């Protein structure tokens, strides 16, 4: 069993590293260009494989890790919804899967908040923060799904915000595992920095283009 778990850990770390590099490339290159799209796809699939393997590892005997599970859930939610946001530029996108993902995130986030208290009468701050962020975005998405016109206009902001959110999750895991920052701050500093990056890009794409008169 340990051999298979070790293999899963290698898969998780390898694809997580690939996703980090590809995500950084997608972040710095001009949006919509070929290199952005290709590196974005590598980032997406790398995160999917890394996230799924994280969920499996975190529930295996002698390897139970609620923090790894939270990162896995968080990463998968953001990259999947970020990728699916590309469909929202269509006139009448099918939103059944998107609504289901949001409901599952709300349900999982609720469990992340209350299960530690039920089992050990303690509140896990990191899990609570991750859960609240996931629930907040999911509720916001569900409200937006009820307004197709606004959803169609917001597809690019949603895509950028969610994909960068997935990149923040991967960066957080990398920082924590390698002890680049000590203490609980390691869990939040990448998110704070990433929040400014998201704000920058959202403002950039929202800025109206000015055309010069001839």
Per-residue pLDDT of 146-163, as tens digits, reads 988 888 888 988 999 899
Task: Give this prediction's pTM.
Answer: 0.85
Backbone CA torsion sign across 95, 96, 97, 102? positive
For residue 210, the model assigns a pLDDT of 44
Indicate the pLDDT class of residue 209, thresholds 50, 70 and 90.
Answer: low
CA distances to 119, 165, 189, 197 from 49, in Å: 30, 17, 25, 25
The mean pLDDT of the chain is 86
For residue 176, the model assigns a pLDDT of 81
pLDDT > 70 in the chain, percent: 96
Backbone CA torsion sign across 131, 81, 187, 10? positive
For residue 95, the model assigns a pLDDT of 93
Q: Find out whether 47 and 77 touch, Cβ atoms under 8 Å.
A: no
Indicate the pLDDT class of residue 144, thresholds 50, 70 and 90.
Answer: very high
């Amino acid at each position: 069993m340990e051999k298979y778990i070790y293999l899963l850990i290698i898969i998780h770390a390898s694809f997580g590293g690939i996703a980090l590099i590809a995500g950084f490339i997608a972040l710095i290159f001009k949006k919509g260009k070929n290199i952005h799209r290709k590196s974005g796809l590598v980032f997406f699939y790398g995160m999917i494989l890394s996230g799924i393997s994280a969920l499996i590892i975190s529930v295996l005997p002698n390897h139970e890790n609620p923090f790894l599970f939270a990162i896995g859930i968080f990463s998968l939610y953001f990259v999947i919804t970020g990728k699916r946001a590309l469909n929202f530029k269509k006139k009448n996108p099918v939103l059944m899967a998107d609504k289901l993902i949001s409901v599952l995130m709300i349900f999982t986030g609720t469990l992340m908040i209350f299960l530690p208290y039920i089992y050990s009468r303690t509140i896990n701050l990191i899990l609570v923060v991750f859960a609240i962020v996931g629930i907040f975005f999911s509720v916001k998405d569900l409200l937006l799904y009820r307004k197709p016109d606004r959803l169609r206009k917001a597809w690019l902001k949603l895509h950028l915000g969610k994909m960068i959110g997935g990149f923040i999750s991967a960066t957080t895991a990398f920082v924590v595992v390698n002890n680049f920052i000590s203490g609980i701050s390691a869990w939040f500093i990448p998110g704070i920095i990433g929040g400014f990056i998201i704000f920058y890009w959202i403002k950039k794409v929202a800025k109206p283009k000015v055309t010069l008169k001839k």
